Amino acid sequence: MRRRHFAAFAPCPQQRWRPRPLHRRHFVGAHSPPPESKMALASVLRAELSEFSPNFPKSFPKRFLEDFAEDSEGIPEILRDPPGPPRVLAAPPWGLEAEPEGLGLHILHGTTTLAFKTPLGVTVAVDSRATAGAYIASQAVRKAAPLGGRMLGTMAGGAADCAFWQRLVARQCRVQELRNKEPVSLAAASKLLANLVYQYKGLGLSMGTMLCAWDKRGPGLYYVDSEGQRVAGAAFAVGSGASYAFGVLDRGLAEAPGSEAAACGLARRAVYQAARRDAYSGGSVRVFHVGPEGWREVSHDDVADLQDIYGE
Amino acid sequence: MLPTAGRGLSRPEAGYGLEAPVQHHRFSPYTFNGGTVLAIAGEDFCIVASDTRLSEGYSIHSRDSPKCYKLTERTVIGCTGFHGDCLTLTKIIEARLKVTTNATCLTFFLDVLYHWQMYKHSNNKTMTTGAIAAMLSTILYSRRFFPYYVYNIIGGLDEEGKGAVYSFDPVGSYERESFKAGGSASAMLQPLLDNQIGFKNMQNVERVPLTLEKALQLVKDVFISAAERDVYTGDALKICIVTKDGIKEQTIQLRKD
């Protein structure tokens, strides 16, 4: 029975609202498998359509091929380069590309998000800085978003990637909730998200998210990322400031926090210290608590104000 | 944002050393056409302003190419970046707002949208500013792997009549703010706005709500400053003021050098 539920929401390549990687695209309005259009403008470039065969990119116009560096996927790099620095939240820790040439592209990431489980629930804390290269694009980004009524998802990596996929999963969870008349479990929601982004593995999505909820199994915490990792655990920190946050967190979790206030205080301090040490984290610290009744925001403090409280 | 080396010239830094600089002739589907956009939200108004210079590399293509586009009676969008993508994106947004669905029309546009909703015709009301922002986010993300090189800022009134500004990155990440500068001079303007409108790093100052007159004066001042120090900003300034009475426009001349 569980399998049927998964099958109903298995990632379907025919779903039309999701972005298609270029080499897997279908024509708009086609209901049969299309002549695989590989270029976004293929429908306009009718005369050259013969060049865009299913064997893209090997059949890409030869006169351009020598200009393009192909990467391991065989896709010309120019079709992968984003045009300008996109807004990003923290880097998942699997390493960053060196700055590519071209339009001054920067994919430096910066964020600190963390979550840990206690018998009282799941405590989540996030910073609020988004950077585009070395420019701080925003100091007021919301990096924790609800996924349906009772789940909370944090965002790290590419801001658009996180926001889009979590919103899509939230929609799927809501549909499943309506069909089954019970809230979707955290394991199912995290599996859904992991399977969705796994289809795009290797294409440049950048997303490191923690899903937190209190479902019928009790407090739950999963880490899901765009590399295909999905792992349950008791404590995670994600982002460029994660190592600083772990330092505070592991020390504080040596004895289990006695109360919700103590847990939230620990989470707040961990993100604050990471914001102090990591140049790409900062702005303000939001702390959430996920309990049996759902999630709620516990506090929202500017890092500059916390400096007065905690001192150096 | 650096201009693209569309002519295949190597960067100056690449030529250090004893060997001759290597020439990379690389086709790029993008170019950078410059321009700056600014949006400020007030209690019951919203201002969207842009310069009107269209440039590419060392040339100016046009001195009269404003970057604000009116979408509805309550919403204006400002787009900078690559002008080709700006034009197409605004066409797509306007079509999503107004045009009826027609299967043959689809093939004449880029196959980036899989749902053409006749929002106005099917829902019989104009889209709210927040709804347009959410729609633009999905339009941009549908091109996640070949993005629109456009930095968008939407300004307008929300359902309660308060000013709303939504800023986007090229792939669709967005959030609502009180003020935002985008485009080539954004890094110069945003700190000034943070200080003057957001009262950041100011002590012992009374935080009064922004009036329309003060906001207009601020917009003119910041663009005059931007034109002094940014080569891609200048020529003229077009301001769209969105209030419950509609959208009014003003044009002010800037430096043309």
A112 catalytic? Reply is: no
State how far the Cα of A285 lies from the Cα of A112, in Å rounded to an integer: 10
Query: Residue A15: what are its φ and ψ, rounded to 5°?
Result: -65, 130
The string of DSSP codes covering B161-183 is: S-EEEEEE-TTS-EEEESEEEEE
Burial of B153 (0-12, 13-18, 19+ CB in 10 A): buried
Pair of tokens at residue B63: 């001195």
Q: CB contacts < 8 Å between A and B, how many?
A: 127
Q: Which of A111, A112, A154, A209 is catalytic?
A: A111
What distance separates the 2 farthest-apart alpha carbons in chain A?
Answer: 71
Rounded Cα–Cα distance for residues B173 and A160 (Å): 4
Q: Which residues of chain B have pLDDT under 50?
A: 1-16, 99-117
CB count in 10 Å sphere of residue A193: 27
**What phi and psi values does residue A148 have, to the nearest 5 degrees?**
80, 180
Is the Cβ of A163 closer than 8 Å to some Cβ of chain B?
Answer: yes
**Could you state, in chain order, the average pLDDT of each consecutive group of 10 residues for chain A (312 residues)?**
43 53 46 44 43 42 47 49 59 39 42 94 95 85 88 91 92 92 93 94 90 94 94 94 94 90 95 94 95 94 92 74
Beta strands in B33-72 (DSSP E): 36-41, 46-51, 54-56, 59-62, 68-72
What is residue A131's predicted lDDT score, i.e. its pLDDT? 85
- Structural Rg of chain A based on CA atoms: 21
Q: Tokens 């003003």 belong to which residue?
A: B250
Residue type, B244: K
Q: Does B195 touch chain A (CB under 8 A)?
A: no
**A295: amino acid identity, one letter:** W
From the number of C-beta atoms within 10 Å of its C-beta (0-12, 13-18, 19+), residue A269 rates as buried
H-state helical runs in A137-232: 159-180, 186-198
Q: A217 at the B interface (CB within 8 A)?
A: no
Q: Hey, which residues does A295 pair with through a beta bridge?
A: A290
- Which of B3, B24, B171 faces A82 most closely, judged by CB atoms? B171
Q: Do B106 and A17 touch (CB under 8 A)?
A: no
Neighbours of A17 (CB within 10 A): 13
What ipTM score was computed for the predicted complex, to two decimals?
A: 0.77
H/E element holding A152?
Answer: strand A151-154
Predicted confidence at residue A110, as pLDDT, reads 75
Can you tell me the distance from the alpha carbon of B114 to that of B118, in angstroms, rounded to the nearest whole number? 13
pLDDT digits 0-9 by tens, B173-200: 999 999 999 999 999 999 999 999 988 8
Of B27, B115, B146, the CB nearest to A17: B115
The phi, psi pair for B175, rounded to 5°, reads: -155, 160
Q: Quick one: pLDDT at residue A133?
A: 77
AA identity, residue B40 = I
Domains of chain B, earliest start first: 36-102+123-254 (3.60.20.10)
Nearest CB partner across the interface for A160, out of B106, B113, B173: B173
Taking the C-alpha atoms of residue A238 and residue A254, their distance in angstroms, rounded to an integer, is: 20
Distance of CA A2 to CAs A188, A221, A230, Å?
Answer: 9, 20, 19
- Model-level pTM? 0.74
Give me the pLDDT at residue A158, please: 86
Q: CA-CA distance, A255 to B87, in Å (whole number)?
A: 59
Residue pair A290/A152 in contact (Cβ under 8 Å)? The answer is yes
Instruction: Kindly list the distances between the CA atom of residue A178 and the CA atoms of A11, A16, A172, in Å, as whole numbers in the listed order.
Output: 19, 22, 10
Q: Which of B30, B173, B194 to mutate to test the interface with A (most CBs of A within 10 A)?
A: B173
Taking alpha carbons only, the member of B30, B141, B127 closest to residue B84 is B30
Residue type, A200: Y
Q: What is the pLDDT of residue A219?
A: 95
